[in-house]
Amino acid sequence: MASNRWLATGNFFTTYQEEQRTFTTRLDQLIFSIFLLTLFIWPLLFELSRTYMLVVDNILIAVVAVLGLNLVTGFAGLISIGHAAFVGVGAYTVASCSRMIGDSHIIITHLWPVMIIAGGLAGAVMGAIVGLPALRLKHLYLAIATLSFQMIFEWTINFMAFFNQGQTIFVGRVMWLTGEVGRSDHYVFWYYVILIVIVMCGFGVRNLFKTRYGRALVAVRDNDRAADAMGMHPGLTKVYAFALSGFLAGVAGALHAYLYRGAGIESFTLHHSISYLAMAIVGGLGTLNGSFWGPAAIQFLDLQVENVAELAGHYMPSNMNLATALRPLTFGLVIVLFLMFEPRGIANWWRIVKSYTKTWPFRY
């Protein structure tokens, strides 16, 4: 490991292991560790209001879901317009367990990590099933197949009495070493849980792309015939991309069910699928850090627009329409403007900032 990144002027790797390392320099590692540490410590230092903690939790859950979406859409190049349905599968796995065995059963309250993984597995299974058309379909046709999964999912939940016809199915409060996680600690507790999940998923995804399975995804995206010629099975690779993405979505869904203490169909509609896509695009498709930027940016924007709309409402009381129209308008504009002017998303700004600091004071 080169000890000082400022002195590194080129690629001096001598072994494959060296190239595959997660951190190129010790400084990188240190900075990242400090960053992680800050993420874990700050809630202990400042007390954020419950609303903002909820917003932060929400962003983090969206990060998990968008990570999954990025796997399938960004890295494997398969458009999914049904991602919220996969998230819903995870949430409803937890919720239907809770409905069967009671919402404060020991399995729900004590074995919640198991439930979260179960949610992920259910998402993975559904992902693989929905991915099956990918064996034959490409591009738009595949997008439409995922859209129909979204519709069928919504109908099923809305229709079946078992799922409470789409109304909230409650999930009880969980237990931790210190006892039941009460209302005051709820959001902070789940902040930590989701953060740990994200760190695990983030490293998982990052490491995935050092394996042949990860590289197969990208190869199939870039040229599936070439990938075929090199001995990969493009169809199976796509199915497996869907399964992986479904797993992450399912985990996000299970977390959502626990965070909101219940699952209801309103949180898993087509609108949310579109939001996830928007987050992935604004963040930067096919980049790992884009999965973090996107949700943060979209949710932050949503909050700011709400504030502005509220202000506008103060000054134009009889003209509420203007204030409320702002929200869909800005949401749409952000997507369109990003696609037109920065299709590589915020991740690209990050790249620019990074390379600027790296080469400073020189520029090219």
Partner 1 sequence: MGKTIRKNLFALNLFLAFAVVVCITPQAFAGGKVYKMGLSLAITGPTSDAGNPYSKGVEDYFNYVNDTKLLGDDKIECMIRDDQYQTAVTKRNFEDFLDQGIVFYLNYSTGSTLGLKRDFEEVQIPVLPASFHAGNVEDSHYIFLPIASYSEQVVSLSEYVVNNHKGDKPKVAMFIHPSAFGRGPVGDVEKSIAAGLNMEIVEVVEHGKDLDNTAMLQRLMSKNVQYVICQTIQSPVATMIKDAARLGISANAFGESGKITFLGAHYTGGNDLIDLAGDASENFFWITSYTITSEPGPGTDFQLSLAKKYGRDDKAANSHNYANGIMVAQVATEVVRRAKEKGLDISKKTLHDELNAMNGDNAYQPPTTVGPVTYSSTDRAGVDSLQIYAVKEGVFRKVGEPITSQYMKKIK
Partner 2 sequence: MKIIRFFLTKCSGDRYIAMSYFFQIVISGVVVGSIYALAALGLVLVYKSSRVANFAHGQIIAAGAFITYALTVWASIPVYISFVLSMLITFCLAWSVERIFLRRLIGEPIISVIMVTIGLASILDGLIYLTPFGTENFSFPSFFPQEPIMVGGVSISWTQLVGVIITFILIGGFSWFFKKSTVGISMRAVSDDQFASMSVGISVPGVFGLAWATAGLSAAAAGCIIGNITGLNFDTLHSFGIVVFPVVILGGLDSILGAVVAGIIMGLIQQFAGGYIDGNWGLNGTGEVLPYIILLIILLIKPHGLFGIHEIERV
Which positions touch partner 2 (CB under 8 A)? 73, 77, 79, 132-133, 135-141, 143-145, 147-149, 151-152, 155-156, 159, 224-225, 228, 234-235, 238, 270, 274, 277-278, 281, 285, 321-322, 324-336, 339-340, 343
Return the residues of window 127-146 that contact partner 1 according to CB under 8 A.
none
> What is the smallest separation between the CB atom of 54 and partner 1, expressed in angstroms?
5
Burial degree of 106 (CB within 10 A; 0-12, 13-18, 19+): exposed
Question: Does residue 269 contact residue 259 with C-beta atoms inside 8 Å?
Answer: no
Give yes or no for residue 328 binding partner 1 (CB under 8 A).
Answer: yes
302: Cα separation from own chain's centroid: 17
Paired with 169 in beta bridges are 263
> What is the smallest separation between the CB atom of 191 and partner 1, expressed in angstroms?
14
Q: Pick from partner 1, partner 2, none: which does 352 bind, CB < 5 to 8 A by kind?
A: partner 1
Closer residue to partner 1 in complex, CB, 125/270? 270
Residue type, 181: V
Match 């010629």 to its residue by tokens.
229
In what helix (H) or strand (E) does residue 263 lie, and over which residues does it extend? strand 262-263
Residue of 289, 313, 330, 344 interacting with partner 1 (CB under 8 A): 313
Residue of 260, 276, 292, 293 interacting with partner 1 (CB under 8 A): 260
- Count CB atoms within 10 A of the CB of residue 216: 22
Give yes or no for residue 363 binding partner 1 (CB under 8 A).
Answer: no
> What is the smallest separation between the CB atom of 291 and partner 1, expressed in angstroms?
19
Q: Pick from partner 1, partner 2, none: which does 166 bind, CB < 5 to 8 A by kind?
A: partner 1
Residue of 13, 226, 306, 343 interacting with partner 1 (CB under 8 A): 306
In what helix (H) or strand (E) does residue 169 lie, and over which residues does it extend? strand 169-170
Separation in Å, CA 30 to CA 3, 4, 38, 342: 12, 12, 12, 31
9: Cα separation from own chain's centroid: 35
Binding mask 56-75 for partner 1 (x = CB under 8 A): --x-----------------
> What is the smallest separation between the CB atom of 139 and partner 2, expressed in angstroms?
5
Give yes or no for residue 311 binding partner 1 (CB under 8 A).
Answer: yes
Q: Pick from partner 2, partner 1, none: which does 267 bind, CB < 5 to 8 A by kind?
A: partner 1
Question: Does residue 224 contact residue 234 with C-beta atoms inside 8 Å?
Answer: yes
For residue 256 the two structure tokens come to 């959502």
Q: Pick from partner 1, partner 2, none: which does 313 bind, CB < 5 to 8 A by kind?
A: partner 1
Residue of 212, 317, 360, 363 interacting with partner 1 (CB under 8 A): 317
Concatenating the DSSP letter of every residue in 136-158 gives: T--HHHHHHHHHHHHHHHHHHHH
Return the residues of window 341-360 that contact partner 1 according to CB under 8 A.
342, 349, 352-353
Closer residue to partner 1 in complex, CB, 58/73? 58
Give yes or no for residue 34 binding partner 1 (CB under 8 A).
Answer: no
> What is the smallest separation between the CB atom of 255 and partner 2, expressed in angstroms?
26
What distance in Å separates the CA atoms of residue 222 and residue 108, rounded to the nearest whole number? 43
Residue from 71, 74, 43, 76 nearest 57 by CA:
43
208: Cα separation from own chain's centroid: 16
Return the residues of window 140-179 that contact partner 1 according to CB under 8 A.
158-159, 164-168, 170
For residue 311 the two structure tokens come to 């202000």
Question: Does residue 84 contact residue 52 with C-beta atoms inside 8 Å?
Answer: no
- Count CB atoms within 10 A of the CB of residue 229: 9
> What is the smallest separation between the CB atom of 159 and partner 1, expressed in angstroms?
7
Q: How far apart are the first and last CA of the chain?
A: 26
91: Cα separation from own chain's centroid: 14
| Binding-site ranges for partner 1 (CB under 8 A) | 49-51, 54-55, 58, 158-159, 164-168, 170, 183, 260-262, 264-267, 271, 304, 306-311, 313-314, 317-318, 320-321, 324-325, 327-328, 342, 349, 352-353
